[in-house]
Amino acid sequence: MAEKKNELVAAVESFNLVTLTGDLSAAIEEEMDGLGPIPFDRVKIPSGGGLAFELPGEDEDSPESATDLVGVILDHHPVNAYWADAYAGGNEQPDCSSFDGKQGVDRETGEIKDCAACPYNQFGSDNKGKACKNVHRCYILREGNPVPLLLALPPTSLKYLRDYIAKKVLLNGMRCWQVLTRITLKKEKNAAGIVYSRAIFSFAGKLKPEQIERTAAMKDMVKNTYRSVNIDGDDYVAKAASDDAPKADADGFVNVPDGVEDAGLPFN
C-alpha cells in the first residue's frame, strides 16, 4: 500500500501542468478576437462494451484511442437535450436544450421551460427511459496540453462520478480541480444481455500548491466561457449513451442483473 501511495505522489510531482493563463491567455485573447473561444476536443465512450476511449487524432479521419484518461476535472455540469424527431446521429442541434439540467430553451420559440416539470424529461416518455437525454459534461485537463478534453458522460456513469466526487474528493477536504483523476472503462451487461461501457473514476493524487493556484484560475475561465457551448449530437451518442445501457430510474439508479460484479456501487 505504501509503495502504491508513493507512486501516486510521484505521478503528481511529474505532472506537466499547462494552462490557458498568463502570456498564453493574452495571446489567445488577441489572436482569437472575433473567432470565439478555442474549441475543446471531445473524447467519446465507445459502444458495445469497448474499453478504450476515442480521442481526436492528427486529422478527423484518424482518431486515437486510450484505455485511461488522467488529468484534472476543471469543471463538470449536467446538460439536457431533446430532439422532437428520433435522434439518428449527426451533429444536429436539439429542439430544446439546457446547460444546467434545470432550465431548457426551445430552439424555435426561445421559450424557457422547467426541466423538472417537462413531460419529455419524465421516465416513461421514451419507452422505459426519457425522451430528453440527460448527460453530464466533464472538462479534463491532461498533462502537457492547455486545452481540456470535453467528455460527455451518459446516465449510466453518473452515479459513479457522484460517488467518486463525494467520497474520494469532497469528504477528504479537496475539490476536483485540486486533484488528479484517472478515468477508465468497464464492460457491463444489462438484463437483456446487451454489453455496454461505463466509466470508472479513481483518485490519482493531489496537485502541488502552485499547480492548484493555476487550476483554480483555469476552472473559473472554463466555467465562465464554456458552459454555454452549443449542445449537439456529440453530447449524446445514441448507442453508447442510451440504447445499449440499462435505464436509470427516477432516483438515478440502475438495476444490476444477477451475476454482474459491481463493487463500485455507492452503497457498498
Pairwise CA distance, residues 20 & 137, whole Å: 19
Contact 237, 87 (CB under 8 A): no
CA angle, 124 as apex, 118 and 127 as ends, to 5°? 125
pLDDT score at 30: 87
Which amino acid, 69? L
Cα–Cα distance between 262 and 85 in angstroms, integer?
Answer: 35
The grid cell for 118 is: 417537462
163-179 tens-digit pLDDT: 999 999 999 999 999 99
- pLDDT score recorded for residue 182: 97
Burial of 137 (0-12, 13-18, 19+ CB in 10 A): buried
d(CA 162, CA 52): 22
pLDDT of residue 233: 64
All residue ranges of the chain with pLDDT < 70 are 1-11, 87-91, 232-234, 236-268
Q: What pLDDT shows up at residue 48?
A: 84
- Say what the pLDDT of residue 239 is: 38
The domain locations on the chain are 2-243
Q: What does the alpha-carbon distance between residue 156 and residue 142 come to, in Å, rounded to a whole number?
A: 24
| C-alpha cell belonging to residue 131 | 425522451
- Output the pLDDT for position 267: 32
pLDDT at 238: 39
What's the pLDDT at 141? 95
Q: What confidence score (pLDDT) does residue 127 get?
A: 79
The pTM of this model reads: 0.79
Q: How far apart are the first and last CA of the chain?
A: 21
3-class secondary structure, 218: helix
Whole-angstrom Cα distance, residue 96 to residue 187?
32
